């Protein structure tokens, strides 16, 4: 491609909202423009790299035995009602009505679309397993789109859905997808950290996320330096804490007793008032669960709840309340909590609900004598002794509380947020933490969609069965942006060869006379060798040309200057040094560099 025929409007200044390197560089190098909030246009240069990422994903999915489909992006609302997600997807799902008032959805994901398609096609175990994928537009009405295409509203996702006759088959595909993902990211030049992830209330049995480290990452990764344990904090667990005693530990058998705490509500106020430490408190929070599958009214004293019993999916309770106890210095992790109560989401109860249910203003809830809601105790609480808790009355707390003796939780579960410094449950070493961005996610779904959407096949004995399902997603745009995040310097992008928009830049100091002839020759030879070359035939100062090429990040550069001819200058974007080589053979040399670099990125590794 000749630069004069290309459209790559480079910028010196970028909008203030471009705060991360990838967003700035995609704008500055003329890859991307914004059309609206979370809505972007890839310009020709950006699209070249985008397509390369897409193709790497496609090649690895095909190699792993998945089959590409191309469903519509707009799908009937009806199938979302069938799965039950019409109600639970919330406002992130864009719903529209057409001229005859038909409800339509702009796909945020496609479990429903693939299940609806394949239930009409798969009728026998002989057709299983099947792994179907698309690389297609998604829309999510993100509240706060940010960091350019990292979190857009419209974006492209590769999403695959697999269907199986048994769990072993699902496990096999799940493992194959995990391997394919590792290869995809390696070929893109990305260092990813696979972590254990939350499989939520979806009935899933396994889930792994592929993360890149990022200062602006939305995920907290909990990592063990010794044994390699790695998990999203939405899933991470830790070794039990040593049994803690309250300060001035009460002699065994001392009964709990009230202590007046006028206007003392927060843990900070309490520790100051009682001259103790946060670890001595049992913090009690009241939560509201949305669409929980657990009957949280089965605890004694709870008011009976309304239950919804859809034909095929499990019964659920649209709204229920419960209390959670955790050691005073720890935080409750709401994703772990939602998974524990099998709810689509949990949120702190309103002040009014807290008062209604505990009989006391906010700040005085406690598990002793609390019967209007079930109490879930974090594992940290079961290890406590001689604790302080709210006493379900304004301005009053209890001291010398013994879990187990003075209250019995309805359920004991791991719901705390694990942090750096907590101990690894596998080897006991201290965790460290990193912030990460999720690029991909693989997930065992089980029967959630095949049951709710009634997808059946006949097994070997002619008996009707629901297939098991897995799903596997990668964000194409976010992967592209993350490559730039990992490969840039003060001057611009440093593309890994596999995803560079062009592989070699040919830059004549002036596009005239002998320099023009040499540049044209190099360009022709490179093109004939199948190398993607960009020839800067513009009438610009050399400094401008060099700056633009560095910004755009083309991995190999050949500069043709009249002083050097019949030699030319060969330089890698990743290196400061240039070498003079004869024009004769220069294209072959550049082609060799390109091929070696591509081969290195796609070489098998021990993980394959
Ligand atoms: P996140 O937690 O970042 O919102 P998610 O867990 O909702 O992502 P999935 O449903 O697992 O995302 O989607 C699979 C992949 O799609 C993600 O790993 C990510 O790469 C990509 N993705 C999701 N939302 C966006 C978005 N708003 N913009 C760009 N890519 C996205
Ligand atoms: Mg995810």
pLDDT cut 70: percent of the chain above it: 96
What value does the mean pLDDT take over residues 241-246? 63
Identify the residues whose C-beta falls under 6 Å from ligand 1: 109, 140, 142, 151-152, 155, 157, 218, 438-441, 473-475, 477-478
Could you tell me if residue 423 is inside a domain? no
Residues 404 and 518 both lie in one domain: no
517 pLDDT above the threshold of 70: yes
Residue 285's CATH number: 3.90.960.10
Residues 127 and 7 both lie in one domain: yes
- Note the pLDDT tens digit of each residue in 316-351: 888 999 999 999 999 999 999 999 999 988 999 999
With bands split at pLDDT 50, 70 and 90, how would you rate the model's confidence at 13? confident
Residues 526 and 464 both lie in one domain: no
Q: Which atom of ligand 1 is nearest to the CA of 157?
A: 16
Distance 237 CA to ligand 1 centre (A): 23
Residue 594's CATH number: 3.40.50.800
- Which residue among 441, 470, 472, 476 has the greatest number of ligand 1 atoms within 8 angstroms of its CB, and so is best to mutate? 441
Distance 208 CA to ligand 2 centre (A): 9
Pairing type for strands 556-560 and 504-508 reads: parallel
What value does the mean pLDDT take over residues 27-53? 97
Could you tell me if residue 585 is inside a domain? yes
Residues 384 and 509 both lie in one domain: no
200 pLDDT above the threshold of 80: no
Q: What's the pTM value of the predicted model, to 2 decimals?
A: 0.90
**More confident of the two residues 251 and 43:** 43
With bands split at pLDDT 50, 70 and 90, how would you rate the model's confidence at 203? very low
Domain boundary among 413, 442, 466: 413
Q: Which of 1-5, 151-155, 181-185, 249-253 has the lowest mean pLDDT?
A: 249-253
With bands split at pLDDT 50, 70 and 90, how would you rate the model's confidence at 240? confident
> Residue 52 is part of which domain span?
3-70+108-236+433-484
- Which residue among 344, 438, 445 has the greatest number of ligand 1 atoms within 8 angstroms of its CB, and so is best to mutate? 438
417 pLDDT above the threshold of 60: yes
Domain boundary among 363, 379, 413: 413
Residues 216 and 358 both lie in one domain: no
Q: Which residues of 301-338 are buried (b: 16+ CB within 10 A; e: fewer)?
A: ebeeeeeeeeeebeebbeebbbbbbbbbbbebbbbbbb
Residues 297 and 336 both lie in one domain: yes
Residues 6+ apart with CB under 8 A from 95: 77, 103, 104, 105, 106
Among residues 131, 147, 141, 400, which one has the least CA distance to residue 255? Answer: 400
- Note the pLDDT tens digit of each residue in 397-412: 999 999 999 999 999 9
Could you tell me if residue 553 is inside a domain? yes
- Note the pLDDT tens digit of each residue in 58-77: 999 999 999 999 999 999 99
Helix (H) or strand (E) holding 130: strand 130-139
Residues 402 and 367 both lie in one domain: yes
Could you tell me if residue 76 is inside a domain? no
Residues 270 and 395 both lie in one domain: yes
Supply the pLDDT for residue 248: 45
Could you tell me if residue 595 is inside a domain? yes
Residues 162 and 42 both lie in one domain: yes
Supply the pLDDT for residue 154: 98
Number of domains in the chain: 3
With bands split at pLDDT 50, 70 and 90, how would you rate the model's confidence at 202? very low
Angstrom CA distances, 490 to 24, 25, 190, 281, stand at 12, 10, 19, 50
Supply the pLDDT for residue 301: 81
Supply the pLDDT for residue 438: 96
Contact at 8 Å (CB) between 365 and 284?
yes
Residues 402 and 438 both lie in one domain: no
Distance between CA 7 and CA 42 in Å, rounded?
11
What value does the mean pLDDT take over residues 108-123? 97
245 pLDDT above the threshold of 80: no
Residues 316 and 169 both lie in one domain: no
- Name the residue with the closest Cα to ligand 1, atom 29: 151
With bands split at pLDDT 50, 70 and 90, how would you rate the model's confidence at 196? confident
201 pLDDT above the threshold of 60: no
What value does the mean pLDDT take over residues 433-452? 94
Residue 458's CATH number: 3.30.930.10
Q: Which atom of ligand 1 is nearest to the CA of 475?
A: 20
Could you tell me if residue 494 is inside a domain? no
607 pLDDT above the threshold of 90: no
Residues 188 and 251 both lie in one domain: no
Token digits of residue 7: 């459209």
With bands split at pLDDT 50, 70 and 90, how would you rate the model's confidence at 311? low
Distance between CA 303 and CA 306 in Å, rounded?
10
- The torsion angle over the Cα atoms of residues 455, 460, 464 and 468, rounded to 10 degrees, is -40
Could you tell me if residue 468 is inside a domain? yes
- Note the pLDDT tens digit of each residue in 158-192: 999 999 999 999 999 999 999 999 999 999 999 99
| Number of neighbours of residue 63 by Cβ within 10 angstroms | 12
Distance 438 CA to ligand 1 centre (A): 7
Supply the pLDDT for residue 101: 97
Long-range contacts of the stretch 271-277 (C-beta < 8 A, 24+): 271/328, 274/388, 274/397, 274/399, 276/246, 276/247, 276/388, 277/247, 277/329
- Note the pLDDT tens digit of each residue in 523-546: 999 999 999 999 999 999 999 999
Q: Which atom of ligand 1 is nearest to the CA of 151?
A: 28
What rounded mean pLDDT belongs to the chain?
93
Distance 11 CA to ligand 2 centre (A): 34
Token digits of residue 52: 């390369």
251 pLDDT above the threshold of 90: no
246 pLDDT above the threshold of 70: no
Q: Which of 154-158, 217-221, 304-308 has the lowest mean pLDDT?
A: 304-308
What value does the mean pLDDT take over residues 260-279? 89
Q: Which of 171-180, 302-311, 582-591 has the lowest mean pLDDT?
A: 302-311
Supply the pLDDT for residue 139: 98
Could you tell me if residue 169 is inside a domain? yes
């Amino acid at each position: 491609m000749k630069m004069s025929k290309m459209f790559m409007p480079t910028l010196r200044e970028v909008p203030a909202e471009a705060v991360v390197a990838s967003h700035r560089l995609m704008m500055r190098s003329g890859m991307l423009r914004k059309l609206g909030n979370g809505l972007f246009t890839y310009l020709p240069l950006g699209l070249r790299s985008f397509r390369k990422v897409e193709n790497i994903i496609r090649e690895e999915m095909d190699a792993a035995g998945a089959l590409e489909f191309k469903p519509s992006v707009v799908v009937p609302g009806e199938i979302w009602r069938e799965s039950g997600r019409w109600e639970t997807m919330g406002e992130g799902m864009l719903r529209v009505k057409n001229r005859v008032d038909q409800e339509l959805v702009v796909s945020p994901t496609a479990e429903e679309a693939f299940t609806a398609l394949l239930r009409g096609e798969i009728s026998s175990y002989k057709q299983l397993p099947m792994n179907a994928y698309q690389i297609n537009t998604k829309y999510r009405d993100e509240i706060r789109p940010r960091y350019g295409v990292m979190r857009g509203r419209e974006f492209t996702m590769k999403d695959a859905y697999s269907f199986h006759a048994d769990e072993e088959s699902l496990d096999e595909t799940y493992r194959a997808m995990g391997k394919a993902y590792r290869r995809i990211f390696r070929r893109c030049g990305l260092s990813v950290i696979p972590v254990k992830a939350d499989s939520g209330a979806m009935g899933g049995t396994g889930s792994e996320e592929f993360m890149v480290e990022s200062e602006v990452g939305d995920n907290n990764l909990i990592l063990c330096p010794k044994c390699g344990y790695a998990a999203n904090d939405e899933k991470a667990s830790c070794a039990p804490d040593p049994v803690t005693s309250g300060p001035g530990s009460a002699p065994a058998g001392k009964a709990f007793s009230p202590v007046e705490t006028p206007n003392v509500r927060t843990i900070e106020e309490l520790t100051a008032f009682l001259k103790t430490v946060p670890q001595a408190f049992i913090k009690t929070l009241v939560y509201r669960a949305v669409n929980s599958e657990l009957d949280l009214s089965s605890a004694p004293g709870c008011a009976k709840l309304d239950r919804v019993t859809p034909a095929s999916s499990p019964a659920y309770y649209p709204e229920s309340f419960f209390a959670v106890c955790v050691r005073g210095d720890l935080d409750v992790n709401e994703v772990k909590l939602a998974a524990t109560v099998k709810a689509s989401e949990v949120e702190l109860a309103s002040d009014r609900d807290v008062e209604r249910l505990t009989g006391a203003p906010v700040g005085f809830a406690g598990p002793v004598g609390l019967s209007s809601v079930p109490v879930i105790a974090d594992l940290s609480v079961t290890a406590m002794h001689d604790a302080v808790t709210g006493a379900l009355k304004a301005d009053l707390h209890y001291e010398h509380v013994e879990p187990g003796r003075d209250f019995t939780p309805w359920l004991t579960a791991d719901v705390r947020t694990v942090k750096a410094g907590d101990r690894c449950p596998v080897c006991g070493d201290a965790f460290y933490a990193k912030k990460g961005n999720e690029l991909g996610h693989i997930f065992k779904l089980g029967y959630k969609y095949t049951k709710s959407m009634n997808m059946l096949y006949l097994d070997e004995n002619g008996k009707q069965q629901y297939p098991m399902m897995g799903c596997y997603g990668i964000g194409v745009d976010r992967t592209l942006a993350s490559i730039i995040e990992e490969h840039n310097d003060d001057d611009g992008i440093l593309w890994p060869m596999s995803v560079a928009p062009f592989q070699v830049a040919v830059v004549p100091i002036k596009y005239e006379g002998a320099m023009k002839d040499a540049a044209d020759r190099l360009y022709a030879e490179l093109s004939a060798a199948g190398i993607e070359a960009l020839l800067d035939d513009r009438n610009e100062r050399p400094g401008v040309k060099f700056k633009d090429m560095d910004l755009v990040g083309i991995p190999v550069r050949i500069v043709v200057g009249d002083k050097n001819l019949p030699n030319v200058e060969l330089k890698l974007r990743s290196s400061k040094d240039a070498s003079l080589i004869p024009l004769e053979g220069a294209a072959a040399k550049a082609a060799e560099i390109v091929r070696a670099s591509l081969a290195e990125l796609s070489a098998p590794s021990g993980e394959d």
